[in-house]
Chains A and B, each alone.
Chain A
Amino acid sequence: MSGSTPANDETRSIHVAAMARVEGEGALHVTMRQGKVEEVRLEIYEPPRFFEALLRGRDFREVPDIVARICGICPVAYQMSACHAIEKALDVSGQIDPAIITMRDLLYCGEWIESHVLHIFLLHLPDFLGYESAISMAKDHGDLVKRALQVKKLGNEIIALLGGRSVHPVGACIGGFYSLPETDRCRQLLPTLRTRLDEMCELTLFLARKLTFPDFDRDYEFVALQPAGEYPMNRGPIVSSRGLRIEQEQFLQVFEEQQVPYSTALRAIIKGRGAYCVGPLARLNLNAASLHSRAAELLQEICTIIQRDLPWRNSFLSLLARCVETVHALAVAGDILQNYTQPKRSRVPVEACAGTGAAATEAPRGVLWHQYRIGADGSIVSARIVPPTSQNQYQIENDLRVLAEQIISLPDEQAQLRCEQLIRNYDPCISCATHFLKFDRRWK
């Protein structure tokens, strides 16, 4: 890393030594000309492309276990989108028992809790408190980190309850679950859950009071699912803050993935409009009225503390959005566990037949859309997976373009840090990291 400070009129090539790999590589290239940003390129390697090819020819029953390996942080999201899409293709969606639907929501709650808390406290919060990493932050804020890890652990316990294990859970299948827990096992989690719910509320209010959020309001088109009367996880039409409203099957009629020459990831746009934003900020802005009452009360307090009502258009506020969603997930999980009785059957029988189905669910990072075409023998003919990170890529680049001009006078090392902080607002799967960037800023 050169560490140089720019002079506006010089022609300079500033190169930061390549950072170690993430799931593939992430790189950011910024070209400045006469003090203006000429180009911003965010390069992403996208594992789902490989998995789309891998799935061809496999039996439909294998799909949930395979796609769970696309992302180690959000396997449930991939499994749920896959199950819903394949069930539509096999025309069994309408037969799924309400109890199974509810337990899928519980499974998703576990993932939101685990993923959000991981990101908030281990990856994102160090930025706001001025630490290089969670490790250096933990030296001064050990109690805070320990409390957060306890909440995260509960998320994993919920996943393991239904998924058999928390890492690459194996309990979900087409039609439901291989088995569902006994009633008592579910109730045993309740005391811990109530404690963690209170903890998370306290931690959230602490963050709202303590943190300072940079001014960075932008005019986003937010996109999320919007089921009637509930906060989105497993279902709902796709809506946007600019009036879009479509069924999940219509996704490709409205959204388009474009190839860009500098990235193996496809970049998604809304046809005729351009970049859009998915994730917790989008969900909250579009669905706040459907939050669990516990989360709604918390949101009210947060708005008072930070003196900002919804909609929040500042991606740095995504940290608080994730906090609110974590509380929502904990509260919903508590209700489900409180009312749970082990159902007579854990899954509906499913037979192979030809068909095509598409579905979207709300991964922790945003809308995750799957489409499958299945042959008469039950083998996958084609698969299409659109992850939230690639949907946000264009918006991230747009944000970086604005930010790059704001930080033009900073030395490269500080500029890189600010860019990474902004990217972390989106909690992208490529980078969930302190050191993912190959940062290259060129002056012309």
Chain B
Amino acid sequence: MSDAQPYAQARPGPILVATCGNSMGGDDAFGPLVAGALRQRPVRGIEILDLHGNPAQLLDHIEGCRALLLVDAAMGANMRPGQLLDMPWSAARERLHLSARSLSSHDPSLVDQLALAETLGQLPQYARLIVLIIPDAELGRAPRPLLLRRALAAARQIHRHAKLHLTHDASSC
């Protein structure tokens, strides 16, 4: 999947921002924090879906969206904690060596959901992953202070992506 011509080939529909994470799971709260930040400054055309800890819901909402921005925390042996990464989904799988468990503690994982959507022809051409690399996700622990700063940064990036899509729509009318 190429990111070269995302706007021209985008289908009509909302920009779906799907966040995943456990607000009681330490740094796994990243996704819900981003959802919260986005809701503070709503943008027309963006639909926010907080999947909490249940990525299995994603496929119920993916059909018909013009773009998909996935937000989650990830862990892995080859990743540096604290990094905020933003890349096309196709690149994310290769560059981050994402396994099913990197992003999700519960099956079907987010990786599996997206792979399934792709297999079924339901994944929008424009799909990106915005992920914060975290060291751990401990149930009951408060998120680290860095998390909120990263969540706000992620929200700003999402607004930039949305603006590009929506600006293209306006200019092509």
Question: Which of B24, B100, B107 is close to A69, meaning CB atoms less than 8 Å apart?
Answer: B24
Q: A50-B140, A133-B112, A145-B120 are in contact. Are A22 and B107 (CB under 8 A)?
A: yes
Chain B: how many interface residues by the 8 Å CB criterion? 29
Q: A50-B139, A72-B52 are in contact. Are A122 and B108 (CB under 8 A)?
A: yes
A434 and B52 within 8 A (CB): no
A72 and B53 within 8 A (CB): yes
With A69-B24, A433-B106, A434-B100 already in contact, 15 other A-B pairs whose C-beta atoms are closer than 8 Å: A19-B101, A20-B102, A21-B105, A50-B139, A50-B140, A69-B53, A138-B120, A139-B119, A142-B119, A145-B116, A152-B60, A166-B57, A168-B54, A433-B107, A436-B107
Encoded as 1 (CB less than 8 Å from any A CB) or 0, chain B from 94 to 119 comes to: 00000111100111110010011001
Q: Which residues of B contact A69 (CB under 8 A)?
A: 22-24, 52-53
Q: Closest CB-CB distance, A442 to chain B, in whole Å? A: 25
Q: Which residues of B contact A166 (CB under 8 A)?
A: 57, 60
Q: Closest CB-CB distance, A203 to chain B, in whole Å? A: 16
- Asked whether A92 is an interface residue with its Cβ less than 8 Å from the other chain, the reply is no
- Asked whether B50 is an interface residue with its Cβ less than 8 Å from the other chain, the reply is yes
Encoded as 1 (CB less than 8 Å from any B CB) or 0, chain A from 130 to 167 comes to: 00011100110010011001001100100000000011
The answer for the CA separation of A146 and B101 in the assembled complex, in Å, is: 24
Q: A20-B99, A72-B53, A138-B119 are in contact. Are A149 and B107 (CB under 8 A)?
A: no
Q: Which residues of B contact A118 (CB under 8 A)?
A: 56, 108
The answer for the CA separation of A47 and B28 in the assembled complex, in Å, is: 15
Q: Which residues of A contact B24 (CB under 8 A)?
A: 54, 69
Q: Which residues of A contact B23 (CB under 8 A)?
A: 69
The answer for the CA separation of A73 and B23 in the assembled complex, in Å, is: 16
Q: A69-B22, A167-B52 are in contact. Are A134 and B106 (CB under 8 A)?
A: no
B140 and A146 within 8 A (CB): no
Q: Which residues of B contact A436 (CB under 8 A)?
A: 107
How many residue pairs, one in A and one in B, have C-beta atoms under 8 Å apart? Answer: 86
- Asked whether A432 is an interface residue with its Cβ less than 8 Å from the other chain, the reply is yes
Q: Which residues of B contact A152 (CB under 8 A)?
A: 60
- Asked whether B79 is an interface residue with its Cβ less than 8 Å from the other chain, the reply is no
- Asked whether A97 is an interface residue with its Cβ less than 8 Å from the other chain, the reply is no
Chain A: how many interface residues by the 8 Å CB criterion? 35
Encoded as 1 (CB less than 8 Å from any A CB) or 0, chain B from 17 to 58 comes to: 000001110000000000000000000000000111110110
A134 and B112 within 8 A (CB): yes
Q: Which residues of A contact B99 (CB under 8 A)?
A: 20
Residues B83-103 near A (CB distance < 8 A): 99-102
Residues A397-439 near B (CB distance < 8 A): 431-436
A73 and B60 within 8 A (CB): no
- Asked whether A223 is an interface residue with its Cβ less than 8 Å from the other chain, the reply is no
A167 and B116 within 8 A (CB): no
- Asked whether B153 is an interface residue with its Cβ less than 8 Å from the other chain, the reply is no
Residues A308-346 near B (CB distance < 8 A): none
**Nearest CB in chain B to that of A139: its residue:** B119
B116 and A432 within 8 A (CB): no
Question: Which of B51, B53, B108 is close to A134, meaning CB atoms less than 8 Å apart?
Answer: B108
**Nearest CB in chain B to that of A150: its residue:** B60
Q: Closest CB-CB distance, A56 to chain B, in whole Å? A: 13
26 A-B contacts, Cβ less than 8 Å apart? Answer: A20-B101, A21-B101, A22-B106, A23-B106, A50-B139, A54-B24, A69-B22, A69-B23, A69-B24, A72-B56, A73-B56, A118-B56, A122-B116, A123-B108, A133-B112, A134-B116, A139-B119, A142-B119, A145-B116, A152-B60, A153-B60, A156-B57, A167-B54, A168-B52, A432-B107, A435-B107
Q: Which residues of B contact A133 (CB under 8 A)?
A: 112
The answer for the CA separation of A269 and B99 in the assembled complex, in Å, is: 37
**Nearest CB in chain B to that of A136: its residue:** B119
**Nearest CB in chain A to that of B51: its residue:** A167
- Asked whether B59 is an interface residue with its Cβ less than 8 Å from the other chain, the reply is yes
Q: Closest CB-CB distance, B84 to chain A, in whole Å? A: 22
Q: Closest CB-CB distance, B18 to chain A, in whole Å? A: 10
**Nearest CB in chain B to that of A166: its residue:** B57
A149 and B59 within 8 A (CB): yes
